[in-house]
A and B are shown apart, each in its own frame.
Chain A
């Protein structure tokens, strides 16, 4: 049994963002109060902010479910909604991709975006599940500023998380972003 398992509803507005953020952070702080968990608490705040702002910016629905699970060894923060499916746009390396994708692609690692400093990738774990990963891009020369990406939300979560997964349930049409952080 997890130590904590709670559900929240985030109605997409700035007025609700900070009260809900502070409510969830208070629960996390209660269970991870020690000094050695300072970075973990800050990382949870970053993850929650990125998930909330992602919901406000990209979901075409008015609310999102947030699930919090705290165990001895990990914290899992999940965001789910029935809005737009996560779409992987075409890049220089890959064609665009929509979920659920063809099962022939299972195991393929795709580039979500790449610039002169970082590369955000996703491994197609199964037709309805993608696992994010990040790689540093070292060109050995100063980065081209004009080519820099301007959306770092997924990159931040990927680099913070022990595991960051997107999955889509075609039956219920639910999108789920799940972020696991080690305690």
Chain B
């Protein structure tokens, strides 16, 4: 598993247990997200706290997971992006697609 799920009030935090979120782990991430979305949870926040680097393959998997979530009336947000990852999200306008939390909220 490359994700670790933690229940919070109003959402499920999905911690990424990765330093590099790239092509090597993109498919596995999507598969794990599909399993989580298929549970009853409706709001997911992907926690990038441990992630140093993200590439386009992983972003593609994130968008693909969001598309799947939408079909189940669920939604995905992201949190704890480092400066470079935050810049990348804004560069390709993923900030228009995903709500970005600076840190994990106490509750929603």
Is A4 positioned at the interface, with any CB of B under 8 Å from its CB? no
Is the beta-carbon distance between B67 and A145 smaller than 8 angstroms? yes
User: What A residues does B60 contact at CB under 8 A?
Assistant: 150-152
Contacting residue for A148 out of B56, B57, B84, B97, CB 8 A: B97
Q: Which of A143, A145, A151 has the most CB of B within 10 A?
A: A145
Q: How far is the CA of A125 from the CA of B57 in the complex (A)?
A: 29
Instruction: Tell which of B5-13, B34-42, B87-95, B100-108 binds the partner.
Output: B87-95
Closest B residue to A153 using CB positions: B56
Is the beta-carbon distance between B23 and A56 smaller than 8 angstroms? yes
Is the beta-carbon distance between B56 and A151 smaller than 8 angstroms? yes
User: What B residues does A136 contact at CB under 8 A?
Assistant: 93
Q: How far is the CA of A155 from the CA of B92 in the complex (A)?
A: 7
Q: Chain A interface: which size bin?
A: 20 to 34
Given contact pairs A145-B66, A150-B63, A152-B59, A117 touches B96 in the complex (Cβ within 8 A): yes
Within 8 A of A (CB), among B17-38: 22-24
Given contact pairs A50-B56, A159-B91, A14 touches B84 in the complex (Cβ within 8 A): no
Q: Is the interface of A mostly helix, strand, loop or mixed?
A: helix
User: What A residues does B57 contact at CB under 8 A?
Assistant: 53, 57, 153
Within 8 A of A (CB), among B65-90: 66-67, 70, 84, 87-88
Number of A-B contacts (CB under 8 A): 63
Is the beta-carbon distance between A53 and B67 smaller than 8 angstroms? no
Q: How far is the CA of A142 from the CA of B59 in the complex (A)?
A: 19
Is A146 positioned at the interface, with any CB of B under 8 Å from its CB? yes
Closest A residue to B98 using CB positions: A145
Is the beta-carbon distance between A42 and B59 smaller than 8 angstroms? no
Contacting residue for A143 out of B84, B91, B97, CB 8 A: B97
CB distance from A59 to the nearest CB of B (A): 14
Is the beta-carbon distance between B56 and A117 smaller than 8 angstroms? no
CB distance from A109 to the nearest CB of B (A): 20
* A and B contact pairs by CB, cutoff 8 A, 25 listed: A14-B23, A42-B84, A49-B53, A50-B55, A50-B56, A53-B23, A53-B55, A53-B57, A56-B23, A57-B23, A117-B93, A117-B96, A117-B97, A118-B92, A118-B93, A136-B93, A142-B96, A143-B97, A145-B66, A145-B67, A148-B67, A152-B59, A152-B92, A155-B92, A160-B91
B residues lining the A interface (CB < 8 Å): 22-24, 53, 55-57, 59-61, 63-64, 66-67, 70, 84, 87-88, 91-93, 96-97
